[in-house]
Amino acid sequence: MVKNILVFARKSMKLTILLGISILLIICAVVLFFKPIYSVSINGTQVGYSKDKSKLQSNINEYMENGDGEANLAFVQIDSLPEYKLCLLKRNIVTNDDEIFETVKQSGTKYYKYYAIKLGEEEKAYVSDFAQAEDVVNKLKEKESTNVDQITITEIYDVELKEFTEVDTIVANLYVKKVEVAKKPVSSGKVNTSFNISYNKVPLNISLIKPISGVITSRFASNSRIRSNLHTGIDIAAPKNTPIKAAAAGTVTFSGTKGSYGKLIVVSHGNGIETYYGHCNKLYATVGQQVAQGETIAAVGSTGNSTGNHLHLEIRVNGVAYNPQNYLY
């Protein structure tokens, strides 16, 4: 009995050794004749094999962000990115990472970034960067061009570049000479009739609420490089499309685009009191509409003469602008 057990054990050991040797031989054969490679496909169609998936995808990501270093290129949009599948293939399979990369590049859409100089709503000229656009505005101010308050700068992303114009040429084409007129005497007090603003606080006889919450980035009567006059309101920074609420109940008397205000809502509250909501991205209220206090009338944006998303808020009484911080914020 013991002898039979020993014989069986020896046979089992031999089988185990043979099995191990077989597995080892199979592994060696696989390593010798096959290698792990990534099969690459785009939109379900195989386009080749990659030996280094991480490097290939990194090159694609870099191209999407920066392109080939072309001037004014903002980014490259690629709708169909490669899909990778790990395979075990024969060692003689040829990889083609460079060809795959070129295929992906050819399917991309390039978007360029530049700036339009607008007079009202009409695009008059184009420059490659914001510094040049700002230089145009500053030079028109220095020359006291009468149309400065109608000049706006718009950031543009497009699949094609416009023809750029030199700054001095743009200034020469847009400049409108100021016509001197006799000035009327200015009455005593703090009312600046030149800019139609007042530093006084007058009773409004209505209750106001904040149209949005946010940080004040420009105060009443302040100066700025992008303004031709003193600031007739305050600017409250907020994310794009933040809902803007009516500060008080009233009737919408203007809803549209107006010069440097961009997209503007004006609400009349009676007794000559009006509130202005400028640089909006979207306008929800329409002319003639009765709005309740707290009702959403627009959304925060950066239209018109603006360098970032914010609400330009004005309070006017009989056409004179008063400091909103005397009543809000």
Q: Which residues, 6 or more positions from 301, have their beta carbon under 8 angstroms from its beta carbon? A: 240, 241, 262, 263, 279, 280, 281, 282, 309
Instruction: Say if 155 falls within a structural domain.
Output: yes
Instruction: Say if 94 falls within a structural domain.
Output: yes
Q: Which residues, 6 or more positions from 22, have their beta carbon under 8 angstroms from its beta carbon? A: none
Q: Other CB atoms closer than 10 Å to residue 115's CB: what's the count?
A: 23
Query: Which residues constitute the domain of residue 254?
Result: 197-326
Is 53 in the same domain as 129?
no
Enter the tokens of residue 301.
């944006």
Is 255 in the same domain as 320?
yes
Q: What is the per-residue pLDDT for 70? A: 87
State how far the Cα of 64 lies from the Cα of 228, in Å rounded to an integer: 40
Instruction: Say if 51 falls within a structural domain.
Output: yes
Q: What is the per-residue pLDDT for 289? A: 95
Q: Which one-letter DSSP state was computed for residue 301?
A: B
| pLDDT averaged per 10 residues, the chain (length 329) | 57 65 57 72 89 89 87 86 83 84 88 89 90 90 86 87 92 77 36 53 88 87 60 90 96 93 95 94 96 96 90 91 88
Domain count, the chain: 3
Q: What is the per-residue pLDDT for 125? A: 92
Is 209 in the same domain as 309?
yes
Is 264 in the same domain as 296?
yes
Instruction: Say if 77 falls within a structural domain.
Output: yes
Pick from 271, 281, 270: which is nearest to 312 by CA?
Answer: 281
Instruction: Say if 19 falls within a structural domain.
Output: no
Q: What is the per-residue pLDDT for 67? A: 86
The angle subtended at Cα 312 by Cα 306 and Cα 314, nearest 5°, is 140
Estimate to the nearest angstrom the gap between the alpha carbon of 315 and the chain centroid.
29
- Of 121, 141, 174, the residue that ends a domain is 174
Is 211 in the same domain as 287?
yes
Is 317 in the same domain as 204?
yes
Instruction: Say if 231 falls within a structural domain.
Output: yes
CATH number at residue 257: 2.70.70.10
Instruction: Say if 74 falls within a structural domain.
Output: yes
Q: What is the per-residue pLDDT for 229? A: 62
Is 39 in the same domain as 98?
yes
Q: What is the per-residue pLDDT for 5? A: 57
Instruction: Say if 70 falls within a structural domain.
Output: yes
Is 96 in the same domain as 120?
no
Is 206 in the same domain as 271?
yes
Backbone angles phi and psi of 235, in degrees to 5? -110, 130
Is 42 in the same domain as 71?
yes
- Of 107, 130, 156, the residue that ends a domain is 107
Is 305 in the same domain as 207?
yes
- Of 88, 107, 126, the residue that ends a domain is 107
Is 270 in the same domain as 243?
yes
